Structure 1
Amino acid sequence: MLLTCTEVRKTFGDAVVLDGLDLTVDEHEVIALIGASGSGKSTLLRCVNLLTEIDDGTIMLDGEDITDPRVNPDVVRRKIGLVFQSYNLFPHMTVLDNITLAPTKVRQRPAAEAKAQAMEWLDRVGLADKAGSYPDRLSGGQQQRVAIVRALVNSPRLLLLDEVTSALDPELVGEVLTMIRDLKGDGMTMVLATHEMGFARQVADRVAFLDKGRVLEQGPPAQVLGDPVEARTRQFLARIIEAGRL
């Protein structure tokens, strides 16, 4: 098991965001987290990447308790890539500089090696010609693909994707989803929070429905999205269908 979350709890003031959540992720597995806003999807991803400290429970990565206070979070984050919905590219740096910053400054890799790897990825996702461009010269879909490449050049064991298409115009969503589908084909282990139910059905090995900070229901996409067991899951999906998003 690559990732194991056990009884994870997180509160912000009086608000319980994660309430004893349990989740496991096998190597090479793609898990889609679905649920209403406030159900805990984004908070869970931030806890796994140690950007948010949990209040109770454990998170194990490769058999190591990464929530142990003695663990160096920077070392853990070298194994985990996290991509946000808002891209978070440095506007004053070119695409190539954005991608090579962490490999050269944090991981101390030779600049030439980091550049060569960055260009390989950019070529693969059809953005090699944008290496010298600044983020404001790119479309939203292009910026998001660059953000994903920036996470991938560190060769993460686990890739976390937090609503990576929600800030995009509808016509740009497809190019990002194609990239994620290709990563699945490569065997990348991914946990993605998404509102794209059709995509979750296509790419996920397992769908986990979060409600009130817990995994209420999980299973193969065809079962969870097509024939859910829990009444709350059925209610959520009915609203998604009503909005034309399934």
Structure 2
Amino acid sequence: MNQPSEPYRSSEPPRPTGPEPDLLQIEHLRKSYGEHVILRDLSLSVAPHQCVVLIGASGSGKSTLLRCLNLLETVDDGIIRLGGVDITDPRARADDIRTRVGIVFQSFNLFPHMSVLDNVTLASRVVHGIDRGRAEADAMAMLDRVGLAEKAKARPDNLSGGQQQRVAIARALVNRPLLMLFDEVTSALDPELVGEVLGLLTELKSEGMTMLVATHEMGFARQVADEVVFLADGGVAESGPPEQVLADPVDPRTQRFLRRIIDAGRL
């Protein structure tokens, strides 16, 4: 993978020295579909440059939480603040928020009839009105960052799964967001391709990217996370440093979940 000429820098303005306030604050979040409650009074904070890993059983609300943070879902109750600004305010412009909160899904969601370069520049040109020359220059810099500049003219179908996922990450990073959300980004990959994507996330973490990562990759959580958050029953059941949550969990629900992971040989 190509090495960047300089570390990743988000669009976040310089902050004064001293303790930094939390970049993301989630307060008493609730989301349901009909009678089915997915998130119930969930509160969570993420500090700047922190990597927080979400773990939990399927259906625990990890993906729904990330979609709420990117405003792909409308919350029923609660507040989400990004940099102190309430992004759940009905007056908030979703497209503006999504330039500050990037998201990458387990499915690549690339347009197969378009080149890699066009996939990465599409939102910049169509949604944000950036001229093609600047959009393509920014996209090429980000494709070089993820080691795929030479694939700019290729179609997604001509790339491996790992390469397609790295294109999806480049597309999310091209606007230099303040916060990146990753939703099970390795679950659709063949095992031999998982490492290259997790390696890129590890590099982003080392360069100061603020990240919220939903994953079943416990090795990644153990090695990279600043904090591990276990979701259950619509809320945060347990959170703390990875060495505590993964090795010495307190909540019985966390203990049961990790026993299943261990029995499956994934921890």
Which bracket does the TM-score occupy, shorter chain normalised?
Answer: over 0.9
**Is 1:143 matched with 2:160?**
no
Task: Report the counterpart of residue 4 of structure 2 in structure 1.
Answer: none
Which stretch has the larger CA shift, 108-117 or 21-30?
108-117
Aligned mates of 1:124, 1:23 — CA distance in 2: 31
CA contact (8 A) 1:38 1:212 kept: no
Please list, as runs of the form range in 1=range in 2, the aligned pairs for 1:34-113 lying within 5 A after superposition: 34-113=55-134
RMSD: 0.9
Give the drift of 1:105. Answer: 2.0
Q: Across the two proteins, how many residue pairs are aligned to each other?
A: 246
**Is 1:162 matched with 2:180?**
no
Equivalent position SS for 1:18: strand
CA contact (8 A) 1:5 1:21 kept: yes
Task: Report the counterpart of residue 130 of structure 1 in structure 2.
Answer: 151
Task: Report the counterpart of residue 6 of structure 1 in structure 2.
Answer: 27
Aligned mates of 2:148, 2:93 — CA distance in 1: 34
Task: Report the counterpart of residue 25 of structure 1 in structure 2.
Answer: 46
Aligned mates of 2:93, 2:124 — CA distance in 1: 18
CA contact (8 A) 2:95 2:127 kept: no
**Which residue identity lines up with residue 156 of structure 1 in the other structure?**
P
Aligned mates of 1:101, 1:144 — CA distance in 2: 17
**Which residue identity lines up with residue 83 of structure 1 in the other structure?**
V
Gaps of 5+ in 2: 1-21
**Is 1:189 matched with 2:210?**
yes
Aligned mates of 2:36, 2:234 — CA distance in 1: 10
**Which residue identity lines up with residue 224 of structure 2 in the other structure?**
V
**Which residue identity lines up with residue 51 of structure 1 in the other structure?**
L
Aligned mates of 1:82, 1:124 — CA distance in 2: 17
Aligned mates of 2:133, 2:196 — CA distance in 1: 29
Aligned mates of 2:189, 2:61 — CA distance in 1: 22
Pick the aligned partner of 2:234 from 195, 213, 238: 213
Give the drift of 1:154. Answer: 0.7
Pick the aligned partner of 2:141 from 120, 142, 154: 120
Aligned mates of 1:74, 1:123 — CA distance in 2: 26
Give the drift of 1:102. Answer: 1.4
Equivalent position SS for 2:103: strand
Which stretch has the larger CA shift, 106-115 or 206-215?
106-115
Could you list the per-position Cα deviations for residues 59-107 of structure 1 after superposition, in whole angstroms to 9, with x for gaps in the alignment?
1111111111121212111111011100101111100000011122222
**Is 1:178 matched with 2:199?**
yes
CA contact (8 A) 2:51 2:210 kept: yes
Aligned mates of 1:129, 1:244 — CA distance in 2: 37
**Which residue identity lines up with residue 75 of structure 2 in the other structure?**
I
- The percent of aligned pairs where both chains have the same amino acid is 64
**Which residue identity lines up with residue 237 of structure 1 in the other structure?**
L
CA contact (8 A) 2:103 2:180 kept: yes
